Chains A and B, each alone.
Chain A
Amino acid sequence: MLKTLTALAAIVVILAALWIVSQKPTSNAVQISLSSEPFPLSVGSSTLLVSLKRADGAPIDNAAVEVSGQMQHQGMLPLTGRTSSSANGEYRVPIIWPMMGQWMVDVTARLPDGGQAADQYEVVVYAVPPHYNGSRTTYRSVSESTSLVTDPSRELLIVIPEGTQAMITAGLIDDVIPAAIHLSVNGQNTLVIQNNDLVDHRIGPFFIRPGEVIRQRFTSTAVYRGVCTIRQSAVVNIIVEN
């Protein structure tokens, strides 16, 4: 009898665990995604595409969507656009971009049920349409761009922002990282590189494609000298000391 009860209890626990694991989130949160035509953006006319969905993937129509683009540039007025018409949860907002560079785009949606949803995106506007054949078709929200969790006491994180190569080519930014990256076997011994740009990058011996993260823990002293695509001098030294 005791064995049967124990067995039944075990089955109940197992089934409960399975049920909990199999449950999808039932939150009514709104998912906003931002894309554009063309993708990625370049100076001139474009259309921002804002997609609104419930957590279960159901599109949200009849919302009032507003986008606002700001550039950290003295004298540059913010750009705004609005629309209430949509198809299958997608809202099209025409915008004319007057200048290349990094823009912060705020998307705000007043929902038909009275609620509100908002998100902020880092958007790079290129001077000329870049050659891009990657798989990404939406912009990263600010929270997503900084979501990589690292331990600063052990890991040195280098993030290559979107648009880096274009900015370097245009002479708008100089070196993204110093000429020497110092690591210590007994301290900060792990190099983490995240490539958020649309193009391949090379930092010393590491070749990183768009969207990739590469993580190397060093266990012995070494010096790696090599090409660097995020420095004007095009050279970097990775120095691992004791």
Chain B
Amino acid sequence: MIYRWALLILAILLAGCSAAASQPQASDLRGAVFDPPRELTDFSLMSTSGEPFTLSEHRGQVILLYFGYRSCPDFCPTTFAELRRVYLELGEPANRVKIVFITIDPERDDLESLALYTHAFHEDFIGLRAEGEALEQVKGQFGIVAERRQLADSALSYVIDHTASVFLIGPDGRLQVQYLYGTGYQDIVHDVRLILQASS
């Protein structure tokens, strides 16, 4: 009897040690890792799902967040094509991983057109929209640069030079990793798996 109890205690302790050791270290992750992870002020923006998207309601999930605009000719579609590959490769249910696109061009991107855009990549992807100070506050937390550049003789009228990174918000709601433009989808998949594994 004592023998069984001892084995049980040992197993519990070893499980605890194993869980502690599985917390991803900065060197285990392939993106740019924030140490400590950045605390984020909660935000709630209107989404393409028809409901507000509130950050704090997504604890326990990994959120891959990108700031872009629907008319972007290069960085945004390229990045979202990669995020589609990430999502398909992960094969996680939508309540574990969220792919979120926040428009930095609310003037031209309404929720309807955003839904068409994000769903073109995957029906689970979510578009968010805000204007003015609400948008600036969210951008400010991630250090998003977005500068409008006028185009002469173009139907686009203007493009926006902007930060093209993908940001990973961990299950604890803090900003954990930044992926620079051009990061391969395998690297993001690798990190998301590690983070989900550590949190489960």
| Chains A and B are bound partners | yes
What is the chain B residue whose CB lies nearest that of A201?
Answer: B143
Which A residues from 1 to 26 make CB contacts under 8 A with B? 3-4, 6-8, 10-11, 14, 17
Pair A11/B9 contact, Cβ less than 8 Å: yes
What A residues does B6 contact at CB under 8 A? Answer: 6-8, 10-11, 14
Given the known interface contacts A7-B6, A11-B6, A206-B32, the answer about A215 and B26 at a Cβ–Cβ threshold of 8 Å is: yes
Pair B5/A7 contact, Cβ less than 8 Å: yes
What B residues does A219 contact at CB under 8 A? Answer: 30, 187
Q: Scoring B residues 33 to 47 as 1 if CB is less than 8 Å from chain A, else 0, what string do you get?
A: 111101000000000
What A residues does B10 contact at CB under 8 A? Answer: 10, 14
Pair B36/A215 contact, Cβ less than 8 Å: no
Given the known interface contacts A4-B2, A7-B5, the answer about A205 and B165 at a Cβ–Cβ threshold of 8 Å is: yes
Pair A206/B178 contact, Cβ less than 8 Å: yes
> Interface of chain B, helix or strand or loop or mixed?
mixed
Pair A215/B32 contact, Cβ less than 8 Å: yes
Given the known interface contacts A14-B9, A14-B13, the answer about A4 and B145 at a Cβ–Cβ threshold of 8 Å is: no
- Is B134 part of the binding interface, using a Cβ–Cβ cutoff of 8 Å? no
Closest chain A CB from B179 CB (angstroms): 10
- Is B154 part of the binding interface, using a Cβ–Cβ cutoff of 8 Å? no
Pair B2/A200 contact, Cβ less than 8 Å: no
Measured in the bound complex, the distance between the Cα atoms of B13 and A17 in whole Å is: 11
Measured in the bound complex, the distance between the Cα atoms of B7 and A3 in whole Å is: 11
Pair B3/A224 contact, Cβ less than 8 Å: no
Measured in the bound complex, the distance between the Cα atoms of B142 and A227 in whole Å is: 15
Q: Which of B5, B36, B180 contacts A212 (CB 8 A)?
A: B36
Measured in the bound complex, the distance between the Cα atoms of B27 and A71 in whole Å is: 38
Which A residues from 189 to 234 make CB contacts under 8 A with B? 200, 202, 205-207, 209, 211-217, 219, 222, 224, 227
What A residues does B30 contact at CB under 8 A? Answer: 217, 219
Pair B2/A8 contact, Cβ less than 8 Å: yes
Q: Which of B33, B34, B36, B163 contacts A205 (CB 8 A)?
A: B163
Q: Which of A3, A4, A209, A217 contacts B38 (CB 8 A)?
A: A209
Q: Scoring B residues 1 to 36 as 1 if CB is less than 8 Å from chain A, else 0, what string do you get?
A: 011011101100100000000000011001111111
Pair A6/B33 contact, Cβ less than 8 Å: no
- Is B182 part of the binding interface, using a Cβ–Cβ cutoff of 8 Å? yes
Given A11-B6, A202-B145, A209-B38, 8 other A-B residues pairs in contact with their CB atoms under 8 A = A7-B6, A11-B2, A11-B9, A14-B6, A206-B178, A212-B35, A214-B35, A217-B30
> Footprint of A on B, CB under 8 Å?
2-3, 5-7, 9-10, 13, 26-27, 30-36, 38, 142-143, 145, 163, 165, 178, 180-182, 187
> Footprint of B on A, CB under 8 Å?
3-4, 6-8, 10-11, 14, 17, 200, 202, 205-207, 209, 211-217, 219, 222, 224, 227
Q: Report the 8 A-B pairs with minimum CB-CB distance, sorted nearest first.
A: A207-B143, A216-B32, A7-B6, A7-B3, A10-B6, A7-B2, A213-B35, A3-B3
